[in-house]
Amino acid sequence: MIRGIIMKERVLILGAGYGGSVIANVLAREFRNRIANDELEINLLDKNDINTNQGGYTFIPFELYTPEEITKPRKKLISPRVKTFFGEDGEVTSLDLPDQEVTVRSGKKYGYDYLVIAMGCRADIDAVPGLVDDLNTFYTSMDDAFKVRDLVKTIRNGKVVVAVASMPIPCPGAPMKFTFMLESYLRNIKKCEENVEKNCREDVELSMVWPIELIGPAEYNNLVTDECKRKDIKIIRNFQLARVDASKKELTSVNGEKLNYDILITVPPHKAPQVLIDGGLADENGWLSADKATLQYRGPVGNFDNVYVVGDLGPAEILKTGIGAHYQAIAVSHDIINSIYGNGIKTPYMGETGCPLVTELESAGTEGKGYIATWKYGVPLAPFTTTKMGWYFYRMYYHIHWDISVKGLF
């Protein structure tokens, strides 16, 4: 307060995806009176006005969700107490952390006292030479997920390879989940055209190419390794994708190994938004550095306690998942709240994250099986198995996501 005048506090949130929306909604609830009294404002920016629950892309090839179920207009998800700017007035084109100013495509500038950078990450399809010549992926957009659906319908026989190019990627559990759903679909649902009594699975050689050794934490890796053996899915580990030769239908790893395929479904390499890389904010790995607990920015342009890094664009060593983005958003919201109240309370992110798994689709002859595996710093994932209840809960989650999770109600 200066000579009786109350200074207005300004919170600026970049990205109205999962993490950014949760923070905007939690702060708007907490500070409803201050906002009404014009003592505080929350500005939320995004380059577009539609929120997509990207997790739903994994299910589109099997027609388990519709586009309407996994997308919502951002306006419907965000408290009216938040000032939202979407499109030209919301697309971030530069950040000046020392001067506490963000510029957007229209040229407008926003100042702040607290800044949250929650702009996600994106696929970098040009990072692997030749990949664009045979790119089938459910990781990039709704349209691409539908193309994979159309491709899956054509599978009758041959070598089908699901390849993860490199790490890190958002939701590293999704490719395995997709592979199990594909296997279940070919075994239980898709009938062979020549003989409708027969399913397609026995004529398909299904492989999963994985860039590192372990698939998730030890217990996750154990479970998926056993399931793959049981389901005759070959796992090719430590195969980091260096090149795709579409004319020979051949993959080459960084170590020079070769692998042939008939149908290729790929998860491309990912990176932080280009504007952050171009602005010199990213570390040597191309991601935004932050303290693992406070999530405060600790990067090449300096250390800023009033700048928080949330979600997929964060440090490579923090797993990139929606579950993680949610818990990071809750921790950061409360840290901002406590800082504005000046009560000295700290609410660190404790590494809560997870990877939902599906090992079987629900079909005429099978029960769906799933599990939402979670863990945090110092509390490793416990042994688990996929269950019918896990399948139902995970399917249901996509509906409660919008009204419970994105609104920051837990």
Ligand X SMILES: Cc1cc2nc3c(=O)[nH]c(=O)nc-3n(C[C@H](O)[C@H](O)[C@H](O)COP(=O)(O)OP(=O)(O)OC[C@H]3O[C@@H](n4cnc5c(N)ncnc54)[C@H](O)[C@@H]3O)c2cc1C
Q: How many CB atoms lie under 10 A from the CB of residue 389?
A: 12
Binding mask 36-65 for ligand X (x = CB under 6 A): ---------xxxx-----xx-xx-------
Taking the least distance from each CB to ligand X, the nearer of 128 and 169 is 169
From 299, 311, 315, 408, residue interacting with ligand X (rule: CB under 6 A): 311
Relative orientation angle of helices 174-184 and 218-230, to the nearest 10 degrees: 20
Q: CA dihedral defined by 160, 161, 162, 168, rounded to 10 degrees? A: -170
User: Cβ 164 to ligand X, closest distance in Å?
Assistant: 11
Q: Nearest-CA neighbor of 157 among 195, 205, 194? A: 205
Of 201 and 311, which CB lies nearer to ligand X in the complex structure? Answer: 311
Cα gap 351→371, rounded to integer Å? 19
Asked if 92 touches ligand X (CB under 6 A), the answer is yes
Name the one range near ligand X by CB under 6 A: 87-95, 127-135, 224-232, 235-243.
Answer: 87-95
In angstroms, the CA 6 to CA 43 distance is 19
Does 20 bind ligand X (CB under 6 A)? Our answer is yes
Please give the residues from 345 up to 374 whose contact with ligand X meets the rule CB under 6 A. 356
Which residue's CB is nearer to ligand X, number 15 or number 199?
15
**Dihedral over Cα of 231, 232, 238, 239: its sign:** negative
The reply to whether 110 sits near ligand X by the rule CB under 6 A is no
Q: Does 77 bind ligand X (CB under 6 A)?
A: no
**Distance of closest approach, residue 92 Cβ to ligand X, in angstroms:** 4
Select the residue interacting with ligand X from 91, 144, 335, 352 (CB under 6 A): 91
Query: Rounded to whole angstroms, how far apart are CA atoms 16 and 21?
Result: 5
Among 168, 170, 268, 315, binds ligand X (CB under 6 A): 170
Look-up of token digits 């090839």:
61
Task: Write the DSSP string, 4-61.
Answer: TBPPPEEEEEE--SHHHHHHHHHHHHHTHHHHHTTSEEEEEEESSSEEE-GGGGGTGG
Query: Minimum Å distance from CB 382 to ligand X?
Result: 18
3-state helix, strand, coil in the chain (%, to 5): 30, 30, 40
- Indicate whether 268 belongs to the interface with ligand X (CB under 6 A): no
- Residues numbered 177-216 forming contacts with ligand X, rule: CB under 6 A: none
Please, what is the minimum distance in Å from the beta carbon of residue 194 to ligand X? 33
Q: How remote is the C-alpha of 323 from its chain's centroid? A: 9
Judged by CB, which is closer to ligand X: 30, or 91?
Answer: 91
Q: Which is nearer to ligand X, 199 or 328 (CB)?
A: 328
Nearer to ligand X, 252 or 328 (CB): 328
Q: Find the shortest distance in angstroms from Cβ 372 to ligand X.
A: 8
Q: Minimum distance between the CB of residue 159 and ligand X, rounded to whole angstroms?
A: 23
For residue 118, state whether it binds ligand X (rule: CB under 6 A): yes
Burial 333-345 (b: 16+ CB within 10 A, else e): bbbbbebbeeeee
CB neighbour burial string for 228-257, b if at least 16 within 10 angstroms, e if fewer: beebebebbeebbbbebeeeebebbbeeee
Q: Give the total of residues touching ligand X (CB under 6 A).
A: 36
Look at the block and give the residue holding tokens 């492989």. Answer: 207
Binding residues (CB under 6 A) for ligand X: these are: 14-20, 45-48, 54-55, 57-58, 90-92, 118-120, 138-139, 170-171, 174, 273, 275, 311-312, 320-323, 325, 356
